[in-house]
Structure 1
Amino acid sequence: MPQIEVLDEQTIDKIAAGEVVERPSSVVKELVENAIDAKATAITVEIKEGGTSLIRITDNGCGIEAAQIPIAFYRHSTSKIRKVEDLVRISSLGFRGEALSSIAAVAQVELITKTPEQFTGSRYLIEGGKEVSLAEIGAPNGTTFLVKNLFYNTPVRRKFLKSAQTEAGYVNDLMERIALSHPEISFKFINNGQIRLHTSGNGKLKDIIYHIYGRDIAANLLEIHAEYEGFSVDGFIGKPIIARGNRNFESYFINGRYIKSTLIAKALEDGYRGFMMQHKYPFTVLTISLDGTLVDVNVHPNKMELRFSNGEILYQQLAALLSTRLRESELIPKVTVHEEKKQEKRPQIQPQEAPEPFEQKRLERLRAAVAKDSPYERKYPERNRPETGTSGQETAGQASVLREQITYGTEYPGSFPVEQKLLCEEKTDSSETQKQEKNGEVFFPESVNTDSQEVLAEHALQQTLFDAAEQKAEEQADTGGSDFSDADLKSKQEWKLLSKQARPHHRIIGQLFETYWLVEYQEQFYMIDQHAAHEKVLFERTMKAYREKEFTSQMISPPIILSLTMQEEVLLKKFLPEFEKLGYEIEYFGGKEYAVNAVPGNLYGLNGQSLLLELMDGLGNMSEKDTPDLVVEKIASMSCKAAVKGNQKLSRPEIEHLIDELLTLENPYFCPHGRPVIVSMTKYEIEKKFKRIV
């Protein structure tokens, strides 16, 4: 019979390390969290070979006193808590006191640290859980950890690690999440000598999102801020247009801690239901601040899993918050023109030798003669730019001033040889020319082709206006719109397409492919999918009637007799109350047959028998975990088969009525399956496509 024995300390340490240190990213997580707890404002992480050969973490935090260093590497030694009651109100990221002992048990660790009160720092070496040395050393304030040869004494663990590139990817992903959770801290991540991440620590979360995910993501964000009893939510969520095929872009933090929670993930995805296509997941970066007494962090040594005492309330309010924020925003996808910008090479003016004095005097006399009665010499008083007006008026004002003040002899793309020659000649008297141009005076010899100059000026004007318009468009994309002094103009500009204020200004152009309706509104071109629009109207109408118990039934005579299989009978009995709420009246007819005496009143025109069977087939594919709300949405979604189809001719009054119906919906932008109902294209994009703007 096997004997029971107490394991030695080294074996115990290695077993405990297996729970905390799974891979190099686990080491980085524990040490970076310690640096954050030490009030560091700048943290640098460097790894080599995926973190297996070297992990170096440097911070400018409070440091560790020399006498405390060996104690820090004991199991369950910590400065974060003192007694069991402290576990109820944990405010730090670490508290278990297992990280340093677990890391030291499976690696060669070097620690260099100094507190602000000490004159010198300390250097501590520990390998495989055994102390090697402790000595004084010159060091800056803060702490540096060097973790070398991870799992050197547990080759089995090392064998199960993935490639160096994959392990480095795990560390990179972790550093991005931590940077998002603490925008007030500057993070730098270096992999094999290359800087992969560097944040400024300016506290601006959107800057970090832009730095990590790029312009497209940052330009499609909605800010979130809400406070509830016991918790608050801050951060950004993405518009449905940037939804992804997996949950990798869902980031959420509890009291500054990066976690993974099925409860929060479900709340996020339920909040987006109806705004995205199926099997798509939202982009979110949310910080949830909770009362420490409402959450239990002490579930697993990696502290990635939490338990909530108010989980149901958190789920409901978070899902409702996201759904409300999405409904408040205009989510019409924009069709953009993606074209490579062709860099037009400006003609290079080769420097020439200065002309002889005689030639210089001749040019001066020529300029004086031209200046006397030249139509190109123009002086204009300084014009005050109007303080109010729309962006279009502002651009128009710029155009008029540019047309009047354009310098015809200036170097422009596509200049003609005659202009280049003139420019070379005028360059000899640069000081005089610059002075004249500043005063708005421009001179040309009589031999210059005036038609060519007009073409040149117009080309320059178009180029300048294009640059101005493009800059203006980028500013509006970044700020969400222009600022106007006139309140009426501003409010008109901010009217959504699907709003009662904007409705009288819609101009319906016509129908395309007997499927899409074309609408013009405020220099925007909209295409409305008639099938998706009608489907959405029916879906919302069905759901509203279900919630308010206002369904009407349409009696049919003779009744529809259905012959059901045993599985279909089980489904019918299980969901019969839901069918009745929708307006169906079904009764047992004998044997395997059931009589359908009435169908929902707003679904007339459909084959009631096939519709009911399709509904039951769809419900049969649902899992047991689906909530009653999902059952209703499944029924309502399939009921949308009554919607008008594509390639079906609609009259103008019918589409007018359909648009009016869309105005009454909370979310008119996406059909029940997540496809867009409306897409838009700006006048600027259309003109760019036709090369009116080049």
Structure 2
Amino acid sequence: MIRELSLEVRSKIAAGEVIERPVSVVKELVENALDAGATDIKVSVINGGLDEIMVSDNGCGMPFEELPLAVKRFTTSKIASVEDLDSIATLGFRGEALASIADVADLTIFSCDGETSGQLRIRGGEVLLCKPVASPKGTRVIVRDLFFNLPARKKFLRSASTEFSHIQKFLQSMVLIYPNIQWTFTSEKGVIWHVPPQLPSEERFYSLFGQKAQFHAFTASQAELDIYLNPNIVGELILSVNGRLIKGSAYFQVLRILKDMWGGANLPVMVLRLNVEPDQVDVNVHPQKLDIRFKSQGWLRQALQELITQVRSEGGSLGSDSKTSGEMPHYQSEAWTTTPNDASTVVNETIRENYMLFQKEALQNQKDVGAAVSKGLEIKDYLYDAYILIKRDGVYELWDQHAVNEKINYWRLSSLYGVQFLLEPLFCGVDEETAQALTEMGFELQQVRGGYLIKAVPSLLLLSRSLDVIIDDLESIKGNIEKTRADLACKSAVKAGQKLSPMEIEALVVEGLKVLDVSYDPHGRPAVVKLDQALIERLFNR
């Protein structure tokens, strides 16, 4: 018997198309913030976004009287007619995002347009509260209990760590696409990263991924290309069209053209921003607006060819493997060309490369080691290529560079800081217990016949041992994840006697301050010793 579905069922089905997992919520709210002209965007998640997601911005905000309208389906300020669909210049346009979130979660909105401000709370589509309240200019959206009324959808969500990695990956891409925005990302464990717009590109990359890279920028008539060179990081293309992060068929279409023009060499990390007239692309082709259609490819090939010509002209300065001008930078990694049938072969060649340092010229432009890195803190001296003397809040502290870096690495692995997604999945034939252990360490796996495909790895693995060794360790200790995490953190840390540059010292201190307790390393050994007056007096038997 054919029947018309109720409004409630239709709303849940529609919401499921737009909001698939926590990262879908973050994406929609961040895009709303960008459309509102925000220059400062803060994202906070609890339990990987499963318990709470909060996105706040300093954009134009909404007047109080429009708050109830904002959560109704197909209400928007971005288009008004069918003709507008042919020239969409904003990231959002359908008026579905807030309504979809409100249908499957507990949604609270605070917003102020500079004149009026208010609060709206709606849970499962039912308005619980709507009143005027004081609020700063901009919008703050809090989403709790995602999919509380859709248990069928909720049970298909992954672990909190996996959901967190998806959110982090999306935000990393957006930070690189929008370098003129101030971004802050936090979780219940503290600040993951804070990236101000004035931060140099190399430092921005380091803040996001915990890895150093050489930065090169190229500009064509309708495209901008940023290249980050580090042979220890698996190549990746981050693509945006008119500011929209693109996946799906359009992404792979551009990737194929780019790889053909690149000439067979392995691609580095590339951020490609395509800027085209809105009527030359169709953005209304995907429920989550992750894909588009190009109306023609002529301009696309011309823009990419112009960029690649510029890259070739600077080929000699783009990496240690490029000896002459006109050569494309080429890495030893075979991740692009090897079939994903032998994980150890691919990852050994991808990961075990020598670490590329910044060029000496870049280091000479950094702040002096004695410069203040934050209010109330100064780096005073560097002793024996192993210890950093700092003064914090009037007290001198001695930092062991290896132990502090080890604690930072352990924290990053524990919070999935710097997950690197692979363009080509790698096959490994591990059992279910080992797969679960890998997932808890930050790997993203997809089960297939005979084993698992590895889709993402912790960034620190790129500076450590090969994947087959890690898997062997996990199989031998059977679930002792904390020991494996501590071991990987130790092997990835700088060593005592390994001389650091002023910039590296400063970066180590700044990263150490983000860790909740940097006083001890993961093995319980001291990492920071306070040289207070009482200790100094004891040294002199007073």
TM-score, scaled to structure 1: 0.45
* Contact preservation (8 Å) 1:243, 1:282: no
Shift of residue 15, structure 1, vs aligned partner: 0.3
SS of the aligned residue for 1:196 comes to strand
1:272: which partner in 2? 262
SS of the aligned residue for 1:134 comes to strand
2:245: which partner in 1? 258
Q: 2:177 aligns with which of 175, 178, 181?
A: 181
2:284: which partner in 1? 298
Shift of residue 7, structure 1, vs aligned partner: 1.2
* Contact preservation (8 Å) 2:220, 2:306: no
Provide structure 1 residue ranges, at least 5 long, that are not aligned to the other structure: 336-470, 480-694
The amino acid of 1:97's aligned partner reads G
Q: 2:360 aligns with which of 465, 470, 474?
A: 474
1:226: which partner in 2? 220
CA gap 1:143/1:476 in 2 versus in 1, 3 angstroms: closer
SS of the aligned residue for 1:133 comes to strand
CA gap 1:158/1:319 in 2 versus in 1, 3 angstroms: farther
Write the mapping of 1:643-662 to structure 2, written as runs, cut at 5 A.
none
CA offsets, 1:542-594, max 9 Å, x none? xxxxxxxxxxxxxxxxxxxxxxxxxxxxxxxxxxxxxxxxxxxxxxxxxxxxx
CA gap 1:111/1:295 in 2 versus in 1, 3 angstroms: same
CA gap 1:162/1:115 in 2 versus in 1, 3 angstroms: same
CA offsets, 1:228-282, max 9 Å, x none? xxxx11131245x63755x6x31121111111211111122222223x2xxx443
Q: CA–CA distance in 1 between the matches of 2:297 and 2:245?
A: 17
Instruction: Specify which structure has the bigger relative contact order, considering alpha-carbon pairs within 8 angstroms and separated by 6 or more residues.
Output: 2
CA gap 1:290/1:206 in 2 versus in 1, 3 angstroms: farther
CA offsets, 1:618-673, max 9 Å, x none? xxxxxxxxxxxxxxxxxxxxxxxxxxxxxxxxxxxxxxxxxxxxxxxxxxxxxxxx
Q: 2:226 aligns with which of 211, 233, 236?
A: 236
Q: CA–CA distance in 1 between the matches of 2:231 and 2:84?
A: 42
* Contact preservation (8 Å) 1:244, 1:281: no
Write the mapping of 1:330-341 to structure 2, written as runs, cut at 5 A.
330=316, 334=320
CA gap 1:333/1:128 in 2 versus in 1, 3 angstroms: closer
Shift of residue 314, structure 1, vs aligned partner: 0.9
* Contact preservation (8 Å) 1:267, 1:319: no
Q: Which has the higher helix share?
A: 1
Q: CA–CA distance in 2 between the matches of 1:141 and 1:147?
A: 20
Shift of residue 180, structure 1, vs aligned partner: 1.4
* Contact preservation (8 Å) 1:183, 1:204: no
Shift of residue 176, structure 1, vs aligned partner: 1.0
SS of the aligned residue for 2:316 comes to coil
* Contact preservation (8 Å) 1:271, 1:320: no
Shift of residue 18, structure 1, vs aligned partner: 0.9
Shift of residue 59, structure 1, vs aligned partner: 1.0
Q: Which has the higher strand share?
A: 2
Fraction of identical pairs, as percent: 36
Write the mapping of 1:533-544 to structure 2, written as runs, cut at 5 A.
none
2:502: which partner in 1? none
* Contact preservation (8 Å) 1:271, 1:323: no
CA gap 1:310/1:112 in 2 versus in 1, 3 angstroms: same
Shift of residue 62, structure 1, vs aligned partner: 1.3
Q: CA–CA distance in 1 between the matches of 2:179 and 2:359?
A: 28
2:424: which partner in 1? none
CA offsets, 1:328-353, max 9 Å, x none? 32058549xxxxxxxxxxxxxxxxxx
Aligned pair count? 328
* Contact preservation (8 Å) 2:240, 2:246: yes
* Contact preservation (8 Å) 1:226, 1:234: yes
Q: 1:41 aligns with which of 32, 39, 42?
A: 39
TM-score, scaled to structure 2: 0.57
* Contact preservation (8 Å) 1:250, 1:283: yes
- Whether 1:326 aligns to 2:312 is yes
The amino acid of 1:100's aligned partner reads L
Provide structure 2 residue ranges, at least 5 long, that are not aligned to the other structure: 322-356, 366-542
Shift of residue 303, structure 1, vs aligned partner: 0.9
Q: Which has the larger radius of gyration?
A: 1
SS of the aligned residue for 1:160 comes to coil
Write the mapping of 1:80-119 to structure 2, written as runs, cut at 5 A.
80-118=78-116
1:683: which partner in 2? none
* Contact preservation (8 Å) 1:199, 1:208: yes
2:442: which partner in 1? none
